Structure 1
Amino acid sequence: MVEAADTAFGEQRARELLAAAVPEVAAADATLLSLGENAVFAAGDLVAKVGRDASLLDRARHELRIAAWLADSGVPAVRAAEPAPREADGHPVTLWHRLPGTLRPATTSDLAELLRVVHALPEPDFTLPGRELLGGVERWLRLAGDAVDPADAAYLRERRDGFAAAAAALTPHLPPGPIHGDALPRNVHIGPDGPVLVDLETFSGDLREHDLVVLALSRDRYGLDPAAYDAFVRTYGWDVREWEGCEVLRGARETASCAWVAQHAPGNAAALAEFRRRVASLRAGDAGVRWHAF
């Protein structure tokens, strides 16, 4: 069964946690920006990220450490307002400096330029974790509980194990090193000083191809304009689809993306429908089925 604390996590619960962790902020007046792995609120000059689950505490600490490293390295990225997470009822709450208003939507070329900067970074003086692309599958399926078919959950676990083994055996084309881990234009903010990276939770030290497969999958599954993908390739300087390991990382990311939607299925009919769409397309081996961003 799904734990009561998990099913109760929504905007109201997140506001209660925000009020408990950051009493100096008027939580009732904060603006909800997004609700996913974290509830993200804007309040004055701050942005607060409230973790959906207590298990995200280590991930929050990691993101803050990455933010400090990127600041020291001069990489344009979101800056933390405090060096350590606060906690409320076990949920991590991190505080960030609010970015100026966006001037325009980020393009795939903006993303590619930032990735070139990230991929040129030397290793930091601390150990970056590997990109555990499939590491969240078990937690997301646990959060889904009885809302999803147990056979579908078992199928995704089997896929996870198979792709994890295959990914571990890959020979990269690019030298491994620091990566963003969730390289999408939505994680780039265009302010008055240019593109800035946001959402640093998945920063890792791993195959740089991980960052490039994301848009290849977006082109195939989510309807990204092929011209936008081509612009990304031109700016970055290489097309990951030329690499023989591309299908393995693509399959791993599809598996993770499918399981990610499952956590929203309890009480959310649209999420459940999208989860079923994704699982059915994976079972059928139909790479052409359009997935809807959620």
Structure 2
Amino acid sequence: MHTVFDEDRARRLLSVACTGAGLPEPARARLLALGENAVFDLGRPALVAKVGRDPVLAERAARELAVARWLDRSGIPVVRPADDLAEQPATAQGHPVTFWHRLAPAVRPANAADLGPLLRALHLLADPPAPPAPLPRRDLLAPVERWLGAAEGHLDPADADQLRALAADQAAAVAAQQPLLPPGVIHGDALPRNVHVGPGGPVLLDLETVADDLREHDLVVLALAHHRYGVPEREYLEFTRGYGWDVREWAGWPVLRAAREIAATAWLAQRVPGDPAVLAEFRHRMAGLREPGRAGRWHAV
């Protein structure tokens, strides 16, 4: 059985990392998100910390820091690492912890219209400096086994086995796709929640999935949000106008959509232990995956 990664455990790890970095005890840190990372606003100093759910994420955390610096130099508005601290990423009982400058308060919530132009600028980077290291492919389904392993003993084994089988089949289908756009740098998880609209305009957040792969990967994310999570057609079309193309015109879009549906369901599995609402949503999604033609609203939990 895996150790449950919940808010209490994340706070203990954060405390260890702050002590190692010479920062004050984060007793009043505010939890902002709990997924692959626990994200905390430290208050004072004006920093945000990301505590990795699993020690295996250490390499990805280091790459995210390097990618943020690289994109900043390339003129893309992104969140900036707190480079005045000790060497990053820090570690706490093996878990990676990174520290970032807190952005100025948002002037309004980000929306789909903010995301399109940001992605277009990222995709059209002209002669950027070389990346700090070769960027990985956007292998959506590679973490499926890790996510399922985190929920061992909390899922119906038949569900876990079916997800593994679906992931294997869909990975082969994704690899066979021929893109319409030239491949290159992508964000990898392009949703409005990963954009912050501050006084200076929209800024890209959560750079841990930046990759070198099909540009269509970035565009399918919001198309899936429209298809499964209830993003209105009007908002989705604002996104496509801002970017300049609708990925639904591409024959391969249902294949990438299916891969993302499988990945999103497996990702949810790691949050099942101790949370009945997450388990209920996981089962709901599995029902949809068993009947590919079945329409059904999914919910963020």
Name the TM tier (shorter chain): over 0.9
Alpha-carbon distance, 1:244 to partner: 0.6
State the secondary structure of the residue aligned to 1:49: strand
**Contact kept in structure 2, 1:163 and 1:252, CA below 8 Å:** yes
TM-score, length-normalised on structure 2? 0.94
- Corresponding residue for residue 78 of structure 1: 79
Alpha-carbon distance, 1:92 to partner: 0.3
Alpha-carbon distance, 1:84 to partner: 2.2
User: 95, 98, 113: which one pairs with 2:99?
Assistant: 95
- Corresponding residue for residue 28 of structure 2: 29
Q: Distance in 1 between matches of 2:69 and 2:235?
A: 32
- Corresponding residue for residue 38 of structure 1: 37
**Contact kept in structure 2, 1:119 and 1:178, CA below 8 Å:** yes
- Corresponding residue for residue 136 of structure 1: 143
Q: Distance in 1 between matches of 2:71 and 2:107?
A: 23
- Corresponding residue for residue 240 of structure 1: 247
Alpha-carbon distance, 1:286 to partner: 3.6
Alpha-carbon distance, 1:13 to partner: 1.3
Please say which of residues 157-166 and 282-291 is displaced more in the overlay: 282-291
Q: Distance in 1 between matches of 2:292 and 2:94?
A: 40
Alpha-carbon distance, 1:287 to partner: 4.1
Q: Distance in 2 between matches of 1:237 and 1:113?
A: 9
- Corresponding residue for residue 118 of structure 1: 122
Q: Distance in 2 between matches of 1:231 and 1:51?
A: 34
Q: Distance in 1 between matches of 2:61 and 2:41?
A: 18
- Corresponding residue for residue 108 of structure 1: 112
- Corresponding residue for residue 67 of structure 2: 66
Cα deviation, 1:46-100, whole Å, max 9, x if unaligned, reads 0000111111101101100110101111110000013620001000000000001
Which amino acid is 2:138 matched to? R
State the secondary structure of the residue aligned to 1:28: coil
- Corresponding residue for residue 16 of structure 2: 20
- Corresponding residue for residue 166 of structure 2: 159
Q: Distance in 2 between matches of 1:25 and 1:181?
A: 34
Q: Distance in 2 between matches of 1:287 and 1:137?
A: 23
Q: Can you give the 5+ residue segments of structure 1 that lack an aligned partner in the other structure?
A: none
**Alpha-carbon RMSD:** 1.1
Alpha-carbon distance, 1:145 to partner: 0.6
**Contact kept in structure 2, 1:21 and 1:86, CA below 8 Å:** yes
Which amino acid is 1:12 matched to? D
**Contact kept in structure 2, 1:212 and 1:240, CA below 8 Å:** yes
State the secondary structure of the residue aligned to 2:134: coil
Q: Distance in 2 between matches of 1:158 and 1:16?
A: 36
1:11 matched to 2:15: no
- Corresponding residue for residue 207 of structure 2: 200
Q: Distance in 2 between matches of 1:68 and 1:127?
A: 15
1:212 matched to 2:219: yes
State the secondary structure of the residue aligned to 1:146: coil
State the secondary structure of the residue aligned to 1:21: helix
Q: Distance in 1 between matches of 2:24 and 2:179?
A: 46
TM-score, length-normalised on structure 1? 0.96
Q: Distance in 1 between matches of 2:293 and 2:26?
A: 45
Structure with bigger helix share is 1
Alpha-carbon distance, 1:293 to partner: 1.0
Regions of 4+ moved over 4 Å: none
Aligned sequence identity (%): 57
**Contact kept in structure 2, 1:221 and 1:287, CA below 8 Å:** no
Alignment of 1:42-57 (within 5 A): 42-43=41-42, 44=44, 45-57=46-58
Which amino acid is 1:49 matched to? K
Q: Distance in 1 between matches of 2:247 and 2:229?
A: 17
